[in-house]
Amino acid sequence: MISSVLPTYNRAPMAFEKGEGVWLIDGSGRRYLDLGAGIAVNALGHAHPALVAALTEQAGQLWHTSNLYRVPQQEKLADKLVDETFADTVFFCNSGTEACELAVKMARKYWYDKGQPERTEIIAFSGSFHGRSSAGIAAAGSEKMTKGFGPLLPGFTHLPWGDHAALKAAVSDKTAAILIEPVQGEGGIVPMPDEDLRAMRALCDETGTLLILDEVQCGVGRTGKLFAHEWAGITPDIMMVAKGIGGGFPLGAVLATENAASGMTAGTHGSTYGGNPLGCAVGNAVLGIVADPAFLAEVNRKAGLMRQRLEGLVAAHPDVFDSVRGSGLMLGLKCKAPNTDLVAAGYEEDVLTVPAADNVVRLLPALTITDEEIGEAVNRLDRAATRLSA
């Protein structure tokens, strides 16, 4: 008999009652060190006092009015994002896949309004993940996500990851945009080298092609910059944001330049819940903390410490691990043993990690993790690896 919850997930058997920072606590009081942070969502950990205060204060005032009216919390968050980034304008939604929907619509509408309606093609890359909507699965193009769901949204081309010559050859007078994650998450924590991102930006400038960055997982301080593309010294035309921006409250956003957004006039897009007062109150609290340069400096320092400790872990267990990779606190352990076995061994040692493609185990801790907690995390991973070798 089918379960009352649609069985689309392979869930681990545990459930949690409470969270405190990097800790998740189950009904029996067992404390797990959470290195997944809800897949990079709980950027400030569980139950951060500033987020709890922002949400509860807003909850006592006003939950929802719809976008028929001005939403001051939304305007404040948009102003802050515009101040802190390349963007001139922001649309709020509730998830990463909704951000993907708008990014694709915006790119196509741009060319339509510029009198080149044939420029509809979106170029994306192997191993990518952009969400589970029809546009999201068409963009990623992997058979695992698309099989049985045809006909797929047309107009997506898939190229190998990291092959600039192939990309250069593929961009044509039909291309609307290039869509890429600066650091692939689901694909196995794979950073695109800075020089490749710069070459991609240059190619877009030469051809007029719009550059869409999917920073749903790698954005909001995760790599030690507010947004990952800042490391390469480039800016996109359109950027998808979600996950960390809401710190656990469903919130997504599309950021764009005035030029890229020029087709999106009144009536061209909308969302009932997008940018509602609760989500934006939390988003303002998250960004108020994460955008602080001193906070980001700490993320970088702790990322260096964690990486160093993980290099030691890999060296101590050459039968289990191959290498460490990633950027900032978006780290991957490339495994030799099956990655899901390591995740399961972690459950036994009270440490939570997330599997990704390419036999990688993802470590995406709250950006607020302390030095001591990093030490404890690596000790628990060490015990999990020992358990696997035994």
Q: How many helices (H) and strands (E) does the chain have?
A: 12, 17
Q: How far is the CB of 390 from ligand PLP (least distance, A)?
A: 34
121 binds ligand PLP (CB under 6 A): no
Question: Binding string, 248-277, against ligand PLP, x = CB under 6 A?
Answer: ------------------------------
242 near ligand PLP, rule: CB under 6 A: yes
Q: Taking CB under 6 A as the rule, does residue 284 contact ligand PLP? A: no
Whole-angstrom Cα distance, residue 26 to residue 194? 41
- Residues from 131 through 150 that contact ligand PLP (CB under 6 A): 131
49: preceding bond cis by omega (within 30 degrees) = no
Give min distance, CB of 389 to ligand PLP, in A: 31
Torsion from C-alpha of 337, 323, 192, 123, nearest 10 degrees: -10
In the complex with ligand PLP, the residue whose CB is nearer, 239 or 313, is 239
- Interface with ligand PLP by CB under 6 A: which range of 147-155, 162-170, 188-196, 211-219? 211-219
The number of angstroms, rounded, from the C-alpha of 368 to the middle of its chain's C-alpha atoms is 17
Q: Does 101 bind ligand PLP (CB under 6 A)?
A: no
State which of residues 217, 327, 339, 353 lies at the interface with ligand PLP (CB under 6 A). Answer: 217
Q: Cβ 104 to ligand PLP, closest distance in Å? A: 12
Give the integer Cα–Cα distance in Å for 195 and 366: 29
Report the SS3 class of residue 26.
strand
Among 110, 129, 156, 227, binds ligand PLP (CB under 6 A): 129
Positions in 316-355 near ligand PLP (CB under 6 A): none
* 361 near ligand PLP, judged by CB under 6 A: no
Annotated binding-site members: 96-97, 129, 132, 214-217, 271-272
Q: How many residues bind ligand PLP (CB under 6 A)?
A: 14
84: number of Cβ within 10 Å: 14
Residues within the annotated binding site for N(2)-acetyl-L-ornithine? 132, 271
Q: How far apart are CA 94 and CA 114, in angstroms?
A: 29
36 binds ligand PLP (CB under 6 A): no
Checking 196-201 for CB contacts under 8 A at 24+ apart, the result is 196/162, 196/164, 197/229, 197/232, 197/234, 198/232, 198/233, 198/234, 199/164, 200/164, 200/167, 200/234, 201/232, 201/234, 201/235
Check residue 214 for interaction with ligand PLP (CB under 6 A).
Answer: yes
Q: Which residues bind ligand PLP (CB under 6 A)?
A: 95-97, 129-131, 181, 185-186, 214, 216-217, 242-243
